[in-house]
Structures are given as structure tokens and as C-alpha cells.
């Protein structure tokens, strides 16, 4: 646990799919969100930096 994954490994785990909306972002642990938001930008050109989450919902 706590191992940082490279982009290839993360894509395999996430199935390489783009997030649909902020709800997808909010399902990710808060400390992991910056990585996943950056990954979405790198892979798909999608910017979810505007998402704000309270608990597990947006």
C-alpha cells in the first residue's frame, strides 16, 4: 500500500478511461487527486482542477 504507480500501471488499473465528471474525481482519495487530475490532462486533455469535493461527493 502507498506505492506510487507510473502512468502505464495507473492506466491499466483505471482501464485507461477518462473521468466523466467531478463525481469520478471525488471518488479518489484526496491525497491522490492531484496525480489523477494530472493524468487525465496528460492522457485525454481533460481538466478537472475545478472540482471541489466534500467527503466523497461533489
More confident residue, 34 or 4: 34
Q: Which residue matches cell numbers 473521468?
A: 19
d(CA 55, CA 58): 8
Helices (H) and strands (E) in the chain, counts: 3, 0
Q: pLDDT tens, 8-54?
A: 666 656 556 788 999 999 999 999 999 999 989 998 899 999 999 87
Cα distance between residue 20 and residue 33, in whole Å: 15
Which is higher by pLDDT, 6 or 49? 49
pLDDT in tens, 26-37: 999 999 999 999
Q: Which of 17, 6, 41, 2 has the alpha carbon at shortest distance from 51? A: 41
Amino acid at each position: 500500500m502507498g506505492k506510487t504507480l507510473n502512468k502505464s500501471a495507473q492506466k491499466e488499473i483505471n482501464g485507461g478511461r477518462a473521468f466523466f465528471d467531478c463525481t469520478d474525481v471525488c471518488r479518489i482519495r484526496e491525497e491522490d487527486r492531484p496525480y489523477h487530475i494530472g493524468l487525465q490532462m496528460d492522457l485525454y486533455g481533460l481538466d478537472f482542477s475545478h472540482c471541489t469535493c466534500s467527503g466523497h461527493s461533489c
